[in-house]
Amino acid sequence: MSRSVRDVVLVDAVRTPFGRAGEKGIYAQTRADDLVVGAFHELLRRNPNLPTDRIDDVAVAATTQIGDQGLTLGRSAGILAGLPRTVPGQSVDRMCAGAMTAVTNLSAGIGFGAYDIAIAGGVEHMGRHPMGEGVDPNPRFVAERMVDPEALIMGKTAENLHDRFPHLTRARADEYALLSQSKTAKAYRDGVIQQDLAPIAVRSASQGWGLATVDEPPRPDTTLDGLSTLKTPFRAHGRVTAGNSAGLNDGATAAIVASEEIAREFDLAIKARLVSFAFAGVDPEVMGIGPVPSTIKALDKAGLSIKDIGLFEVNEAFAVQVLAFLDHFGIADDDPRVNPFGGAIAVGHPLASSGIRLMANLAKSFQLQPNVRYGLTTMCIGLGMGGTVIWENPNFSKAA
């Protein structure tokens, strides 16, 4: 039988407020899988027309798949969230791009015709499961000099990126970090970020039950003077600090993807239309450069150029990684098209969950800017990779 590729759309995307990892963080006594369930509940509440018995698969990503982030999260979280037992599920791991990969994997199935509707998600509870917990890297990586040992420490790869591009100074990284904090503070004042946050019940042994409704990491009082005094933990006299990097965070995200035909049949929202996606590999020692080749590949597959992109959601694992991307494509550090609501330096980066946060932000920008036709979400990925997804604005109007 012959098959034709179907258009795939993002119906909706939500996330939990992001917390600071550790004993004092808002999610210190909350399970990772319960964060996913909370995001699923909000997603289903916001989309009452979604026929849950028609969901074809659930894919949930986590970088550290042990403990309450194990047990095939797509299946276990789906059951816990009350989805019909007939809905299958799976787990995904592409480190920081886990949720992004969950979306692209499911979208590929939808485009092929294997699925009609699916739910993607991602979670990372870095307070319970620090990055790399329980892993056992093969000794050949170092013994056979396949990669530099620093490739396994993300902060050191960011320092390496500073080395490769010495014009990307610490001062420039700090200025970018301050801009991220400022944009996030404005987005909160304007009530933009809150619209896609799923309130999460949290428990404290000393204070009882509470409700998480806002992100914990942002520091709206950040100043350049304050950033300049921070230590460089990955290298003496280095350039990477806690202020110009994303922190260690807890949080979850969730999204609905569907064929456009099915979305219209059930009167579901259409917030973005998938155009293309690509992943690329780079030297693990400079993993932060990954979004450059993945974006080049995605643009080529779409038949577009960087000039066609009107909005950019770039994950801010490290300021230097974003600056390297912007420099390559000739985009100014303060270009208003880039992360208009701020980014991970301010709100946090719970690893595998972040890809869907980028998509939620882009969908909101699409709604607010109908004059923009194309946008992209992109991120660097541990062990030397990059991922990029290009989206079309369903609200686009030349007259806007």
Neighbour count for residue 175 (Cβ, 10 Å): 17
Active-site entry in 125, 129, 162, 349 = 349
Distance CA 28, CA 44 (A): 26
- What confidence score (pLDDT) does residue 244 get? 98
CA neighbor of 250 nearest in space, from 190, 202, 184, 185: 202
Neighbour count for residue 89 (Cβ, 10 Å): 21
Q: Burial letters for 274-294: b for 16+ Cβ neighbours within 10 Å, e otherwise? A: bbbbbbbebebbbbbbbbbbb
342: left (phi over 0), alpha (psi -120 to 50) or beta: left
- What confidence score (pLDDT) does residue 150 get? 79
Top pLDDT among 152 and 67 is at: 67
Cα separations in angstroms, 277 against 88, 176, 252, 294, 301: 25, 27, 22, 8, 8
Let me know if 380 is a catalytic residue.
yes
Residue 165 lies in a domain: no
pLDDT above 70 (res 359): yes
- What is the per-residue pLDDT across 255-301, written as a single tens digit (0 to 9) for each? 999 999 999 999 999 999 999 999 999 999 999 999 999 999 999 99
Neighbour count for residue 55 (Cβ, 10 Å): 23
What is the pLDDT confidence band of residue 385, given thresholds at 50, 70 and 90? very high
The CATH number linked to 357 is 3.40.47.10
Overall average pLDDT of the 191-219 stretch: 94
pTM: 0.97
Domain count, the chain: 1
Active-site entry in 41, 96, 125, 162 = 96
Residue 369 lies in a domain: yes
Residue 151 lies in a domain: no
Instruction: For CA atoms 170, 339, 47, 262, give the dihedral sign.
Output: negative
58: left (phi over 0), alpha (psi -120 to 50) or beta: beta
pLDDT above 70 (res 2): no
Distance CA 189, CA 107 (A): 34
- What confidence score (pLDDT) does residue 135 get? 87
Structural domain including 250 reads 8-129+246-392
Residue 45 lies in a domain: yes
Let me know if 167 is a catalytic residue.
no
Q: Which residues, including other chains, have CB under 8 Å from residue 97's CB and lie 6 or more apart? A: 279, 352, 355, 379, 381, 385, 387
Residue 183 lies in a domain: no
Overall average pLDDT of the 34-38 stretch: 98
For residue 282, the SS3 value is: coil
The mean of the pLDDT values for the chain is: 96
Distance CA 370, CA 332 (A): 23
Distance CA 229, CA 174 (A): 11
Amino acid making up residue 197: L
Residue 104 lies in a domain: yes
- What is the per-residue pLDDT across 76-107, written as a single tens digit (0 to 9) for each? 999 999 999 999 999 999 999 999 999 999 99
Overall average pLDDT of the 94-121 stretch: 97
Element housing 80 (H / E): helix 73-80
- What is the per-residue pLDDT across 298-357, written as a single tens digit (0 to 9) for each? 999 999 999 999 999 999 999 999 999 999 999 999 999 999 999 999 999 999 999 999
- What confidence score (pLDDT) does residue 206 get? 80
- What is the per-residue pLDDT across 125-184, written as a single tens digit (0 to 9) for each? 999 999 888 888 888 987 888 888 878 889 999 999 999 999 999 999 999 999 999 999
Active-site entry in 41, 125, 162, 380 = 380
Cα separations in angstroms, 196 against 12, 13, 97, 212, 231: 9, 7, 20, 13, 34
Q: Which two tokens stand for residue 384?
A: 């030397």
- What confidence score (pLDDT) does residue 400 get? 66
Are 8 and 110 within 8 A, CB to CB? yes
Residue 82 lies in a domain: yes
Partnered with residue 55 across adjacent β-strands are 117
- What confidence score (pLDDT) does residue 280 get? 98
Distance CA 6, CA 261 (A): 8
Distance CA 156, CA 163 (A): 11
CA neighbor of 372 nearest in space, from 320, 344, 322, 336: 336
Distance CA 99, CA 58 (A): 11
Let me know if 349 is a catalytic residue.
yes
Overall average pLDDT of the 29-33 stretch: 96
- What confidence score (pLDDT) does residue 141 get? 85
Overall average pLDDT of the 203-221 stretch: 92
Are 73 and 33 within 8 A, CB to CB? yes
- What confidence score (pLDDT) does residue 205 get? 80
Residue 17 lies in a domain: yes
Amino acid making up residue 110: I
Are 342 and 180 within 8 A, CB to CB? yes
